[in-house]
Every structure is written in structure tokens, then in C-alpha cells.
A and B are shown apart, each in its own frame.
Chain A
């Protein structure tokens, strides 16, 4: 018992010493972040280099445009891959058109329109092996002046970025959870995918450029820009109007423009094509939302896990038989839906890592699930006749739609020729 008392006092002494010395112990914290440093080239040099180059690997695909036997695939911030799709079972990555800052594209006939940061580049693609720049319309996309919060040197063009990881020490007190919980996302992911088709181009649902009659319509984060392209190789800037915030996508249908934003869908009429006017809007919970439409319904996907602060993953179907009063019909829960496309009564939805899902949309209140193409992280899809092209995380997939059953045809891998 004496020993117990001894040990008890001994441990109490140790305990007291620890309490006294506790403040000598220091917690530490560090943060590693990525810094981006621009690599510049002169504007004249960049413009002179816009031509057919040898093909380069697809690394970061963005918008996709299908026209005739060609696929025009955006390489985000770098340019456009020209893919010969004469044989969908064996597409050939044929050329690359270097356009720094390019995110979107649209094609009408033999003319390709692409953004080069703030400028609109008009390119004659009548001979895909020898494209020619016809016109550069300057400073029409004002928001592209900025890279993050960094105002570019506008006398030069950023052609690349050097990434470097940097580590800094933090005060554990301020780095601790209670204060770190204040972090919020203040950036918005631009949606990428544009597709244009040569004969009559088809855009993906994630597009920010679209063509309607003799006009090119583009959306930025907040504005709808209109270009008169009645002379295709001489686009004329017609109008820019503020249409809201966090604008993401634009989809043309029957003379109207369906514009997706993080908070809702807007329908603009083009009775005056140079200055579209809003017919109606349908608000939804905050989310990124590509939208497509058919004669009677609009189809909108909402998703989480992105910079749009989305909280739901679902497909919303809206009745647009009266364009002035769109109304909700039904919502369908999905995994993580992105782009979508419709061909006839068949609806194709890119459901992220859950794959490509195919539905019979004959009766919108009871969609029938027909097929899921698993094993691909699908981002956007174009369905044209019996050809279904999917932009996925690891390649450009093509399927033949045979009686609503997709049959695999080819995969153009990224980082490949």
C-alpha cells in the first residue's frame, strides 16, 4: 500500500510537470498550394500561327462539334483538334489548330468561329488541310481579360502556364477547423463543350457558342453576345446584353435560345435576332445545369461535386409548350449528371462516373431506362442519327444506336495520335 501511495504521488508529479510544460509543445501547420505563372507570346506571333499543325495528343478535351465527317474537339485553352470521322470505327486525329485561350467553337458551313481569349477568330475550313484565318474581331469577350484575379497583359497572349507548388507555414490557431470552415468557393467552372457541325453542326449541351440562322450567339458569365454572320467570314458584333449571373450554357431550338445558369433556365426569343429578348425563366436550386429542348419539353441536369455549389443530382423536365410559362413536369434522381442529348424519343444522359444512360423519353412522366454504358466517366454527348459521340474522361467514345441499343464502335484515347 505504501508503494501504491508512492507511485500515485509519483504519477501526480509527472502529471503536474506535464501540465506546466504543456505550453512548450507547439503544434504546427503548413499549406501547399499551386502557383501559376503565365508564359507570354506576342499577339501577332500567335495570330500568325493559327493554321493546320500536325496532330497533337488530346489531353484536356472541352467542347465538341460534329459536322459531316469531321469532329472538331476543343483542347481547353490550346486550340482545336480536327478529327476525320469518315469511319466512326476508326477516327483519325488529323490536324491541330493552335488557338491559345480557346474554350468554345461553332461551325457554319465552311466557317469556324472560335474564341481566342477576348477575340473572336473566324477561320475558313473549306479545306481542312489548309485552314485560313479570315477575320479577328477584337475584344468582344471582355471577361476573358482576366485569368483568375490576374489581369492579363493584353498586348500579349498567354500561351501556357507554369505550375509550381509552394508551401507556407500557417499559424495552427488560424488554420484550425473552426476558422477554416469559413472557406467557400468563389470561382465558377466554365462549362466546356462546344460542338459545331459542318453541314449543320451539332453542339453539345455544354456549349457557350451557338448558331441560329444568320447569327452567332455566345454567352459569358453574365452576358449574351450577338454576332451577325450573314456574311459568314465577316462576323459583325451586333449586341451584348446582360442576362444575369453565372450563365453557363446556350442551346438553340426552333428560333429560341435556352440559356442555362446556375440558378435557372432562361428562354430568349429571337424575333429580333440582333437583340434577343427574354420570354420566360424557370428558377431552380443552385447548380450547374446544361439544358436541351424538344418541341414540348426542356431537359435540364443538375449536379453536385462541382464549383457551382450544387446540392442535388437529378434530371428536371419542364413543359415548354407555352414558352412564356415553363412549368416543372418531373424530376428524376441521378448519380452525377452532366451533358445530355436527345435523338427522336431517346434521351442520352452523361451521368458522370455512373456512365452513359439511355432512356425512352416517349412519356416524360415515366422515363424508361433502356441501357447504361458503364465504365466511362461521361461528360457530354452528341446523338446524331444513329451515331452517338461521348466526351468522357479517358477518351472520345463512339457508338452506333441500333434500335435504342448502343453498340461500341471506337474510342479515341487521349494523349494519343
Chain B
């Protein structure tokens, strides 16, 4: 169902867009996207905002997102993208790399006895289409592959032979989530 809804939104955006080329030179741009994630564990939504600078065909920025696949996490990343031509409707490629922070709600935190967490890795790479409109904004469509890692330490339920070790005895979990990602958003 999530896929159907997402597909309809994409079609709506595509067919209502039209635009002009806007020249950019060290210009600040904000990229804001919604995403559908599809992986072995199911589907989920995500949001991202990336803020950076454009020069010629290159864009580099820093981004933060909200990723609801499996555990709720906040990826923080560097984003680099390049337009492949200078037309109004131009394809582009992008690559993101950064860290992924686990953000548990209060209920899950209590259920897991306040686990220790450390940032995992976050990657995203794909291709897309930029549809530039009259007022120098643009609509983005992209598809790619993304990976996020979640690292967590939970107190071990097993008793240690030396009681002094009990408070230091953690089971360390490492989760790797591999997804396809389909995004649409706006640049302004």
C-alpha cells in the first residue's frame, strides 16, 4: 500500500512540474526530500533535508534525515551530487555518506533497559532527475540503494561468574539494513 501511495505522489509531482534552467554559482541551495525505503524487512518512509552550495554542475552539502526503517534513526551525512547536463530537465547522480544515530522512543528505551548506542554507518547512492521550474526551484526524483547500520549494546541477561563484571557485561548487536530508496523532493 505504501508503494501505491508513493507512486501516485510521484506521478502527481512529475506531471505538474515544468521549469527553466537557473544559473547557479556558489549558490546556497536546500534539498528537501521524502523517500520510500524498500528492503527485505518491508517498506518504510524517510525524510531528508540537505543544505549546501552549488557551483556549476556540482553540489555539496550536509544533510540530516529521519529514517523509519526497522528502528527509527537519524542519519547525518555529506551529500555530493552532479548534474549530467545543463538542460531544464537534467539527470543527476548523487552519493551520501555519513553516520546513523539510533533514536529510540521512551517505550523502547525502557523495554531494552536503556541500551548504549553508538553511531553506525550510513550510505546512499543513486541517480535522479531534476525538473527545474520558473522560479529557480526544482523538483527532484531519484532512485538508488541505501544502507544503514545500527549498533546497540544491551545489558546481557546472562549472569557473569564474577558479580563484579555484571554491570559491564553487554551483548553487542550490529544490524545492517539494505534498501532500495525512491525519493522525491524540492530544491530551492
Q: Which of B12-20, B60-68, B74-82, B93-101 sits within the interface?
A: B12-20
Q: Is B70 an interface residue (CB 8 A)?
A: yes
- In the assembled complex, the CB of B83 is this many whole angstroms from the nearest CB of chain A, namely 15
Give the contact stretch, choosing among A26-34, A235-243, A402-410: A26-34
> Is chain B's binding surface mostly helix, strand, loop or mixed?
mixed
Q: Which stretch (A171-179, A266-274, A327-335, A338-346) binds chain B?
A: A171-179
Contact of A4 among B17, B40, B160, B166 (CB under 8 A): B17
Q: Mark B1-24, 1 if CB is under 8 A from A, else 0.
A: 001001100110011011000000
B15 contacts A180, C-beta separation under 8 Å: no
Give Cα A178 to B89, complex, Å: 44
Closest to B155 in A: A185
Asked if A172 contacts B175 (CB within 8 A), the reply is yes
As a 0/1 sequence over residues 213 to 224 of chain A, the CB contacts with chain B under 8 angstroms (1 = contact) are 000000000000
Give every chain B residue within 8 A of A22 (Cβ-Cβ): 38-40, 180
> Which residues of chain A in 372-410 are interfacial with respect to chain B, using CB atoms and an 8 Å cutoff?
none
Interface residue tally of chain B, by bracket?
35 or more
A25 touches B155 (CB 8 A): no
Interface size on A, residues (CB 8 A): 58
8 A Cβ contacts from B117-155 to A? 129, 131, 141, 143, 154-155
B108 interface residue (CB < 8 Å to A): yes
Asked whether A7 lies within 8 Å of B176 as measured between CB atoms, the reply is no
The residue in B70, B71, B154 that gathers the most chain A C-beta atoms within 10 A of its C-beta is: B70
Q: Which residues of A contact B172 (CB under 8 A)?
A: 31-33
Question: A147-173 vs B: 1/0 string, CB under 8 Å?
Answer: 111100000001001000000001011
Q: Which one, B41, B131, B143, B167, contacts A14 given CB within 8 A?
A: B143
The interface residues of chain A, by DSSP majority, are classed as mixed
Of A15, A38, A60, A175, which is within 8 A of B175 by CB? A175
Q: Is A45 positioned at the interface, with any CB of B under 8 Å from its CB? A: no
Rounded to whole Å, the gap between the CB of B110 and the closest CB of chain A is 9
Say whether A44 faces chain B, with CB atoms less than 8 Å apart.
no
Which chain A residues border B159 with CB–CB below 8 Å? 147-149, 186-187
Which of A3, A14, A158, A192 contacts B89, CB < 8 Å? Answer: A3
Judge whether A27 and B10 touch: CB under 8 Å. Answer: no
Q: Tell me the nearest residue of chain A to B181, going by C-beta.
A: A18
Among B17, B162, B175, which residue has its beta carbon within 8 angstroms of that of A161?
Answer: B162
Which residues of A in the span 175-223 have a Cβ within 8 Å of any Cβ on B?
A: 175-177, 180-181, 183-187, 189-190, 192
B113, A8: Cβ atoms closer than 8 Å: no
A26 to B154, CA, bound (A): 24
Enumerate chain B residues within 8 angstroms of A38, measured Cβ to Cβ.
Answer: 161
Q: Do B173 and A27 touch (CB < 8 A)?
A: no
Residues of A within 8 A of B7 (CB): 12, 15
Contact across chains for B173 and A25 when beta carbons are under 8 A apart: no
- What B residues does A170 contact at CB under 8 A? 173
Cβ A192 vs Cβ B174 within 8 A: no
A133 to chain B, nearest CB (A): 23
Minimum distance in angstroms from A161 CB to a CB of chain B: 5
**Cross-chain contact of B180 among A21, A185, A187, A190 (Cβ < 8 A):** A21
Contact A187-B166, Cβ < 8 Å, known A7-B14, A12-B11? yes
Contact A189 B166 (CB under 8 A): yes
Q: Does B85 contact A (CB under 8 A)?
A: no
Confirm or deny: A302 has a beta carbon within 8 angstroms of a beta carbon on chain B: no
- B15 / chain A contacts, CB cutoff of 8 Å: 4-5, 8
Top 10 closest pairs, chain A to chain B, by CB: A147-B161, A148-B159, A187-B159, A181-B111, A8-B14, A18-B180, A32-B172, A76-B164, A190-B163, A22-B38
**Extra contacts besides A1-B18, A30-B173, A190-B163 (16): CB < 8 Å:** A4-B15, A4-B18, A11-B143, A11-B182, A27-B178, A60-B164, A77-B162, A148-B161, A149-B158, A149-B159, A150-B161, A172-B41, A175-B175, A184-B157, A185-B113, A307-B167
**B residues lining the A interface (CB < 8 Å):** 3, 6-7, 10-11, 14-15, 17-18, 38-41, 70-71, 89, 108, 111-114, 129, 131, 141, 143, 154-164, 166-167, 169, 171-180, 182
Q: List 13 A-B contacts (CB under 8 A).
A: A8-B11, A15-B3, A15-B7, A15-B182, A26-B40, A29-B173, A32-B171, A33-B171, A60-B164, A77-B162, A158-B161, A180-B112, A192-B163
